[in-house]
Structure 1
Amino acid sequence: MAEMNTQAESGRQRGGRRSKKLSTRVDMTPMVDLGFLLITFFMLTTTMSKPRSLSLIMPADGPPMPVGASKSLTLLVGANNTISWYDGQGQDPAAPPEVHPSSFSPASGIGEVIRAKQQKMAQLYGDADQLVVSIKASHGAQYRNVVDALDEMKINRVARFALVDISAVEEEMIGE
């Protein structure tokens, strides 16, 4: 509790009344209650909002699994929030793949390309889970864009995808 005491003049003045000793008191009980309410509120809200993360399952060690070119799609994540794609894996130097620019737009971006490829897999092989997506990030790519590409895998329910190192030829294809 806070209390302020002020001293009145001592002695008696001529013909005047005697002044009273004044006491000013500030009750701090409501402030303490408010403090405890705020502490309780912030403790509860911090425990309710848990950080969320994307689970990533890594493959077992061993020789790489061969994937047919018709079953694969390669995403090239570039600098300045750009993303490009091409069909296949681009392993044949005699026939370089045709690179198509895209975006992270929900309506007509890379998600639409993935869904179209999944429909093609379902028509050809009877199962959309046959699609294998390789995600290759250039050296100038932002971490956020790689996470956005991984989010597209989760949103479109792509069962098989991999983060792969980008080659110098592929960096030249996207102009980096």
Structure 2
Amino acid sequence: MAQVPEKQNTAKGNKKRARSKGFHLDMTPMVDLASLLMTFFMLTTTFARFQTMEINMPTAQGPDTPVPGKNALNIVLDEEDKVYYYFGYPGDGPELRETDLSATGIRQVLLNEEVKGNPDMVVLVKATASSRFKNLVDALDELKITDTRKYALVELREEDKALLAAR
């Protein structure tokens, strides 16, 4: 417990000096209170929750809905964080362009008037075997940021591989 020394009353004429006594403060109750508060706040705090993106995938037995070439934007994720895109289908002889996953890269392509101005535009995201999972997540994030409503995760076909090899 804390002990506070009491002053002694001395008369004016009597000039005795008070002996200085040591002061002792018991910190045990304060430590107990601090540990109780810390435990309380640790148990009642909500920790950061994982952010998830819901992707509705079609069933394998669902109908195959063909997309016209003028309404298709293909994004191909390749090794070393390279991103290629082209409009239409590989058989149409499209121009393969390279970009990246930054705000000045694929985001500008998705915000382009050719893509945003076409309400029937479908973005087809394809990943090569050598691409990283992080790139796929970044591409899906860019689709979410640009508020792209119609997109699909599609397997890379032989025509796409031939187009990438010809670049």
Alignment TM-score > 0.5, same fold:
yes
Aligned length: 141
**Secondary structure of 2:85's aligned partner:** strand
**Runs in 1 of length 4+ with deviation above 3 angstroms?**
24-27, 171-175
CA contact (8 A) 1:135 1:164 kept: yes
Which segments of 5 or more consecutive residues in structure 2 lack a partner in the other structure?
1-23
Question: Amino acid of the residue matched to residue 73 of structure 1?
Answer: L
- 1:58 corresponds to: 57
CA RMSD of aligned residues (A): 2.4
C-alpha distance in structure 2 between counterparts of 1:149 and 1:121, whole Å: 16
- State the TM-score, normalized to the length of structure 2: 0.73
The aligned runs of 1:14-25 (5 Å cut-off) are none
C-alpha distance in structure 1 between counterparts of 2:137 and 2:41, whole Å: 32
Question: Amino acid of the residue matched to residue 101 of structure 1?
Answer: E
The aligned runs of 1:1-176 (5 Å cut-off) are 27-45=27-45, 47-60=46-59, 61-90=61-90, 92=91, 95-106=92-103, 108-116=104-112, 119-120=113-114, 128-171=118-161, 173-174=163-164
Question: Amino acid of the residue matched to residue 105 of structure 1?
Answer: S
**Secondary structure of 1:85's aligned partner:** strand
CA contact (8 A) 1:78 1:174 kept: no
C-alpha distance in structure 2 between counterparts of 1:29 and 1:105, whole Å: 55
C-alpha distance in structure 2 between counterparts of 1:113 and 1:86, whole Å: 10
Identity rate of aligned residues, in percent?
25
Which segments of 5 or more consecutive residues in structure 1 lack a partner in the other structure?
1-23
- State the TM-score, normalized to the length of structure 1: 0.69
